Amino acid sequence: MNDHPIAFIGGGNMARSLIGGLLAQGHAPASIHVAEPVPALRDALRADFGVAVFDDGAQAVAGADTWVLATKPQVLRQVCGALASHAQTSAPLVVSIAAGITAAQIERWLGGGIKVVRTMPNTPALLGAGVTGLYASARVDTAGRDFADRLLSAAGKTVWLADEAQMDAVTAVSGSGPAYVFLLTEAMVDAGITEGLAADAARRLALQTVLGAARMLTESDVDAAELRRRVTSPNGTTQAAIEMLEAGGFRGLVKAAIHAARRRGQELSAAND
Ligand SMILES: NC(=O)C1=CN([C@@H]2O[C@H](COP(=O)(O)OP(=O)(O)OC[C@H]3O[C@@H](n4cnc5c(N)ncnc54)[C@H](OP(=O)(O)O)[C@@H]3O)[C@@H](O)[C@H]2O)C=CC1
Ligand SMILES: O=C(O)[C@@H]1CCC=N1
């Protein structure tokens, strides 16, 4: 696994996170090939990770029997079209991380008969603390599923789905999810400053609170609702804050936000077909 040649098509934010996770697991940098059109990004990938970089997808996939499609969904059809003849020759395992785009679309764009695993990682992959939803099309055998699982396990936890239709919900919850936590953190820091804290103190207090709360959620068997109740003293400060959030429709807003993200995933598939 650690010197298995893997080609990344697209060397942007998410590819960096996944490559960082792979290298932290001991994957050999030279066996990671990255096709990326932006020279500054190529230079940074080479300098930071020691991986092999190319401006051309065909060069990157040469000799690689696993391809990770890591471009934006809007260009994926064109990217696959340019690589279709190579896919037909080398029959790679294709792992896509693109939001919205279905396994069937990728298989068709690559000329048909291709093994495709559709995945949705998230940016904490860079720390090995991510989570990835995965769906394998019928052509992918057990060895392909195992390989994809090991590849994404370098980025954190994996959750397999039997129904591809659920991948847009995965994207909405965990793919986009870090941004919701970052927005909440921004809002907490801003509010702390408004209430009189120095910016640095507000930031340190909010960040450690998010870290500590996340550790309590993941390192104990107690669910989120019970952990919240344990913070909330009767008629205390937390109760005052939670009542304000509930009255403002916090839960409904989160539901609407996640629904909008899921819908956008479906739109990305339809608009770029
Ligand atoms: N960011 C995130 O948190 C997550 C993103 N994803 C998915 O990952 C994918 C990439 O997202 P992200 O990393 O944020 O996007 P980025 O824009 O940071 O990275 C994509 C990179 O691909 C490059 N690119 C464009 N065309 C080609 C091509 N023909 N061959 C090779 N590379 C090309 C882009 O260059 P240029 O800028 O010049 O177009 C860009 O540098 C998306 O499909 C997204 O849905 C999945 C989970 C989480
Ligand atoms: O915003 C996006 O479309 C991508 C997919 C999930 C996270 N970032």
- CATH number of the domain within which 89 lies: 3.40.50.720
Dump pLDDT digits (tens) for 26-46.
Answer: 999 999 999 999 999 999 999
How many domains in the chain?
2
Out of 167, 187, 209, a domain closes at 167
Are residue 114 and residue 22 in the same domain, yes or no? yes
Q: Under a CB-based contact definition with an 8 Å cutoff, are residues 61 and 90 in contact?
A: yes
- Can you tell me the ipTM of this complex? 0.98
Are residue 134 and residue 98 in the same domain, yes or no? yes
Are residue 60 and residue 163 in the same domain, yes or no? yes
Dump pLDDT digits (tens) for 101-116.
Answer: 999 999 999 999 999 9
- Residue 54 pLDDT: 98
Judge whether 172 lies within some domain. Answer: no
Are residue 13 and residue 146 in the same domain, yes or no? yes
Closest residue CA from atom 1 of ligand 2: 176
Are residue 84 and residue 143 in the same domain, yes or no? yes
Are residue 141 and residue 252 in the same domain, yes or no? no
Judge whether 59 lies within some domain. Answer: yes
Are residue 43 and residue 65 in the same domain, yes or no? yes
Judge whether 243 lies within some domain. Answer: yes
Are residue 72 and residue 184 in the same domain, yes or no? no
CA of 14 to the centre of ligand 2 (A): 9
- Give this prediction's pTM: 0.96
Ligand nearest to the CA of 125: 1
Are residue 109 and residue 143 in the same domain, yes or no? yes
Are residue 142 and residue 227 in the same domain, yes or no? no
Q: What is the pLDDT along the chain (273 residues), one digit of tens a residue?
A: 678 899 999 999 999 989 988 998 899 999 999 999 999 999 999 999 999 999 999 999 999 999 999 999 999 999 999 999 999 999 999 999 999 999 999 999 999 999 999 999 999 988 889 999 999 999 999 999 999 999 999 899 999 999 999 999 999 999 999 999 999 999 999 999 999 999 999 999 999 999 999 999 999 999 999 999 999 999 999 999 999 999 999 999 999 999 999 999 999 999 999
The answer, yes or no, to whether any atom of ligand 1 lies below 6 A from the CB of 121, is: yes
Are residue 105 and residue 191 in the same domain, yes or no? no
CA of 166 to the centre of ligand 2 (A): 15
The answer, yes or no, to whether any atom of ligand 1 lies below 6 A from the CB of 272, is: no
Out of 148, 167, 186, a domain closes at 167
Give the pocket of ligand 2 (CB within 6 Å): 99, 171, 175-176
Are residue 50 and residue 152 in the same domain, yes or no? yes
Which structural domain, as residue segments, surrounds residue 65?
6-167
Cα 237 vs. chain centroid, distance in angstroms? 36
Judge whether 273 lies within some domain. Answer: no
Q: Assign 3-class secondary structure to the chain.
A: CCCCCEEEECCCHHHHHHHHHHHHCCCCHHHEEEECCCHHHHHHHHHHHCCEEECCHHHHHCCCCEEEECCCHHHHHHHHHHHHHHHHHHCCEEEECCCCCCHHHHHHHCCCCCEEEEEECCHHHHHCCEEEEEEECCCCCHHHHHHHHHHHHCCEEEEECCCHHHHHHHHHHHHCHHHHHHHHHHHHHHHHHHCCCCHHHHHHHHHHHHHHHHHHHHHCCCCHHHHHHHHCCCCCHHHHHHHHHHHCCHHHHHHHHHHHHHHHHHHHHHHCC
Q: Under a CB-based contact definition with an 8 Å cutoff, are residues 148 and 136 in contact?
A: yes
Judge whether 253 lies within some domain. Answer: yes
- CATH number of the domain within which 216 lies: 1.10.3730.10
Judge whether 199 lies within some domain. Answer: yes
User: Pairing state of beta strands 115-120 and 93-96?
Assistant: parallel
Q: Residue with structure tokens 């060397």?
A: 11
- Residue 232 pLDDT: 98
Structure tokens at 158: 């994996």
